[in-house]
Amino acid sequence: MTDNSKIAVVEPAAGTQASDWTPTMPMSITDIMAILPHRYPLLLIDRVLELERRKRIVAIKNVTANEQFFTGHFPNFPIMPGVIIVEAMAQAGGTLLLTEFPDREKKLILFTGIERAKFRRPVVPGDQLRIEVDVLVWRSTAGKMQGKAFVDGKLACEAVISCAVANR
């Protein structure tokens, strides 16, 4: 049994294929930044709780009053924009898929489509989004994922997200 209480960036050993490597759980923000190219203010996931390679990821986004988008969306009635929630789901999916590439610093996962997006309830400062992404289709050059975002166990947003893998 593996001790999952430690948080560490674990890179594949020299000569190890990405298929032989699974990151240590939970993944901290530092671990996520070692995989995703996003940075503040557009890095939208704070922690990864679960990762099943090529299948599923569960991530957390802590929604705070300090988020830049709350300044204009909406003054005196802050609501997290739906497109930002979908982007957070895409970043969780990108984190999952980029773990498959040992040369991920040379790759980007590009958003190519959003289908069946539904917004069920507002997300406000103080909420914690639990983002669950399941892979529907995975190829070495593209993917399609079902994303869901929950607040307190209640569905806030869902969408099917398509992406492509590109060289930087």
What pLDDT is stored for residue 140 in this prediction?
Answer: 87
What pLDDT is stored for residue 118 in this prediction?
Answer: 98
What pLDDT is stored for residue 23 in this prediction?
Answer: 82
What pLDDT is stored for residue 14 in this prediction?
Answer: 44
CATH architecture group of domain 22-167: Roll (3.10)
Q: Output the tens digit of pLDDT for each of the chain's 168 residues.
A: 333 333 233 344 444 444 556 788 999 999 999 999 999 999 999 999 999 999 999 999 999 999 999 999 999 999 999 999 999 999 999 999 999 998 989 999 999 999 999 999 999 999 999 999 999 999 989 999 999 999 999 999 999 999 999 999
DSSP state of 77: S
User: C-alpha angle with apex 158: 154 to 161, nearest 5 degrees?
Assistant: 155
Residue pair 150/59 in contact by the 8 Å Cβ criterion: no
What pLDDT is stored for residue 137 in this prediction?
Answer: 95
What pLDDT is stored for residue 20 in this prediction?
Answer: 56
What pLDDT is stored for residue 15 in this prediction?
Answer: 44
Domain ranges of the chain: 22-167
Residues 6+ apart with CB under 8 A from 81: 69, 73
What pLDDT is stored for residue 98 in this prediction?
Answer: 93
Active site residue 38: no
Burial of 13 (0-12, 13-18, 19+ CB in 10 A): exposed
Sheet of strand 142-151, all strands in order from the earlier edge strand to the far edge: 47-52, 56-62, 128-138, 142-151, 154-167, 107-119
Catalytic residue among 38, 53, 56, 73: 73
